[in-house]
């Protein structure tokens, strides 16, 4: 059996792990730093981020940035200022990766290719002497009485380190390697974890999927579950500038403007994702969730009714209408009020056969939510290692000195917009730097 000794062992070669290695090497150039990654190549998840473009950061200042972090934004504050979005972008630019900032302060590589972000991280780490060992799955970790740590790989190799940084991610998109291994190790070490649930995911209206059997007790509806006829008619539509209200057990908890997408999963898009955290949590807790869409938020019901009345009159007075059924005339009316691709699905979900009732239907499209798409296709895992277990100043575990956590494994998640990767970079960098400083004092 091989035994490989390092100063700093990092398990998980994703955004947080690679940045931890870079941070550690920059602080302590002489330290032997090893990143262990179970997939054949590091950074597999980064490749699929931002639809292949990788929204790697967000340039908002802390006041604004922190409103997108859940559940305890203050835990991130120190890591954020230690390695801020400006410093992160500065790091990538210095490494030769040009970036662009788009609407909403979102930062992308100028090339529009997420692979460039991975390549930059890997070559920066390698040039600093960090040893990245891919294709190595760690099965078990141990905290030794002499204060060192061990990690046993699936092929029998034993790794050990004076410090151990765990950056194995959450549970979302398990095909990228993130299968929650680190969460199990933390429980074995007696550390507190906050129950995980999928976030930034599709929420599924009742009747949208054809299956009843596919819904688990917790409300999980597999992404691959087939669409119902209504779901198939709605799939592919984007509703722009609508207002979305969320009711949990009858109480309104959310009301915002924006865009939603009907997809093969359910309700997604910027607003859909934004509300998914609240909705999934409520469904898991056994609450009833309802969404109410107002497709004409800029006008009052009274104003809309007046407009509909005028349109209806015009349609009925048109000579061509004489040969048309009432149903056809209703479709013509809706065609003047809604995107044409939406009409059949809308009518199937919300049948309306009187012009006088159209205004209310458009401003008050209610949908009960049956469930949500799970880890198989969610963007982020909410929950994880309790931040009470970890020092916000160093990312070191309070109960086990020398052990650090960073990235999605922590009970720290964010909205879409580059906040999640920035969180992984900031916490990873701080964990790496802190571990390296500690090693320096021991040397």
Ligand X SMILES: Cc1cc2nc3c(=O)[nH]c(=O)nc-3n(C[C@H](O)[C@H](O)[C@H](O)COP(=O)(O)OP(=O)(O)OC[C@H]3O[C@@H](n4cnc5c(N)ncnc54)[C@H](O)[C@@H]3O)c2cc1C
The dihedral through the CA atoms of 59, 61, 64, 66 has a sign that is positive
Closest alpha carbon to 409 in 388, 374, 380, 385: 385
Residue 418 interacts with ligand X (CB under 6 A): yes or no:
yes
Tokens found for residue 123: 């070559």
Q: State yes or no: residue 301 binds ligand X (CB under 6 A).
A: no
**Residue 17 in contact with ligand X, rule: CB under 6 A:** yes
Pairing assessment for the beta strands 289-294 and 365-372 based on DSSP bridges: antiparallel
Q: In the window 51-110, what residues touch ligand X (CB under 6 A)?
A: 54-55
Q: Residue 198's closest CA among 217, 183, 224, 218? A: 218
Binds ligand X (CB under 6 A): choice among 117, 130, 150, 181: 181
Question: Residue 164 interacts with ligand X (CB under 6 A)?
Answer: no
For ligand X, the closer of residues 341 and 376 by Cβ is: 376
Task: Rank residues 230 and 263 by Cβ distance to ligand X and give the closer one.
Answer: 263
Nearer to ligand X, 169 or 383 (CB): 169
d(CA 155, CA 169): 22
Minimum CB–partner distance for residue 427 and ligand X (Å)? 8
Which has the closest alpha carbon to 436: 163, 150, 115, 129?
Answer: 163
Q: Toward ligand X, which CB reaches closer, 13 or 272?
A: 13
Query: Residue 57 Cβ, how far from ligand X at the closest point, in Å?
Result: 7
Using the rule CB under 6 A, is 167 a contact of ligand X? Answer: yes
Minimum gap (Å) between residue 20 Cβ and ligand X: 9
Q: Is 22 in the site for ligand X (CB under 6 A)?
A: no
Q: Checking DSSP bridges between strand 33-36 and strand 3-11, what pairing results, if any?
A: parallel
Instruction: Give the total residue count for the chain.
Output: 443
Q: Is 230 in the site for ligand X (CB under 6 A)?
A: no
**Is residue 345 a contact point for ligand X (CB under 6 A)?**
no
Minimum CB separation of residue 140 from ligand X in Å reads 9
Minimum CB–partner distance for residue 79 and ligand X (Å): 13
Of 66-74, 116-124, 169-177, 354-362, the segment contacting ligand X by CB under 6 A is 169-177
Q: Does residue 359 belong to the site contacting ligand X (CB under 6 A)?
A: no
Draw the binding track, 387-416, toward ligand X (x: CB under 6 A; -: no contact). Answer: --------------------xx--------
Our finding on whether 421 is near ligand X (CB under 6 A) is: yes
Quick note: the x/- pattern for ligand X over 34-53, rule CB under 6 A, is --xxxx----xxx-xxx---
Binding mask 128-147 for ligand X (x = CB under 6 A): ---------xx---------
The CB-of-293 to ligand X minimum distance in angstroms stands at 25
Segment interacting with ligand X (CB under 6 A) among 13-21, 157-165, 234-242, 280-288: 13-21
Report the interface residues with ligand X, using CB under 6 A. 11-17, 36-39, 44-46, 48-50, 54-55, 137-138, 167-169, 172-173, 177-178, 181, 379-380, 407-408, 418-421, 424
């Amino acid at each position: 059996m091989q035994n490989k000794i390092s100063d700093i062992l990092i398990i998980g070669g994703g955004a947080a792990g690679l940045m931890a290695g870079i941070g550690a090497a920059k602080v302590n150039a002489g330290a032997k730093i090893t990143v262990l990654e179970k997939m054949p190549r590091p950074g597999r998840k980064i490749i699929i981020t931002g639809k292949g473009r990788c929204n790697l950061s967000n340039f908002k200042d802390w006041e604004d940035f922190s409103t997108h972090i859940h559940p305890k934004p203050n835990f991130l504050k120190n890591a954020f200022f230690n390695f801020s979005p400006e410093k992160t972008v500065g790091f990538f630019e210095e490494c030769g990766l040009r970036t662009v900032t788009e609407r909403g302060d979102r930062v992308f590589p100028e090339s529009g290719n997420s692979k460039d972000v991975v390549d930059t991280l890997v070559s920066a780490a390698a040039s600093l002497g960090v040893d990245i060992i891919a294709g190595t799955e760690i099965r078990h970790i141990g905290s030794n009485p002499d204060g060192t740590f061990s990690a046993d790989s699936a092929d029998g190799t034993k790794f050990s380190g004076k410090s151990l940084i765990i950056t194995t991610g959450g549970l979302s998109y398990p095909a990228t390697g993130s299968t929650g291994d680190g969460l199990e190790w933390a429980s074995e070490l007696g550390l507190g974890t906050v129950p995980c649930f999928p976030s930034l995911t599709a929420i599924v209206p009742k009747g949208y999927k054809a299956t009843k059997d596919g819904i688990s007790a917790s409300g999980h509806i597999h992404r691959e579950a087939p669409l119902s006829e209504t779901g198939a008619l709605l799939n592919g539509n984007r509703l722009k500038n609508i207002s979305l209200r969320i009711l949990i057990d009858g109480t309104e908890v959310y009301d915002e403007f924006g865009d939603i997408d009907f997809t093969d999963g359910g309700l997604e898009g910027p607003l859909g994702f934004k509300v998914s955290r609240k909705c999934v949590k409520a469904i898991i807790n056994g609450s009833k969730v309802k969404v109410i869409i107002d497709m004409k938020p800029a006008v009052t019901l009274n104003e809309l009714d007046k407009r509909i009345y005028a349109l209806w009159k015009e349609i009925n007075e048109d000579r061509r209408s004489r040969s048309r059924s009432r149903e056809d005339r209703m479709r013509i009316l809706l065609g003047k009020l809604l995107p044409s691709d939406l009409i059949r699905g809308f009518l199937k979900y919300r049948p309306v056969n009187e012009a006088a009732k159209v205004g209310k239907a458009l401003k008050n499209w209610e949908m009960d939510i049956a469930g949500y798409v799970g880890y198989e296709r969610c963007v982020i895992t909410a929950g994880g290692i309790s931040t009470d277990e970890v020092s916000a100043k160093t990312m070191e575990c309070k109960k086990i000195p020398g052990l650090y956590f960073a990235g999605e494994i922590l009970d720290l998640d964010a909205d879409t917009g580059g906040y999640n990767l920035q969180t992984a970079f900031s916490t990873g960098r701080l964990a790496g730097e802190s571990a390296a400083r500690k090693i320096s004092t021991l040397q």
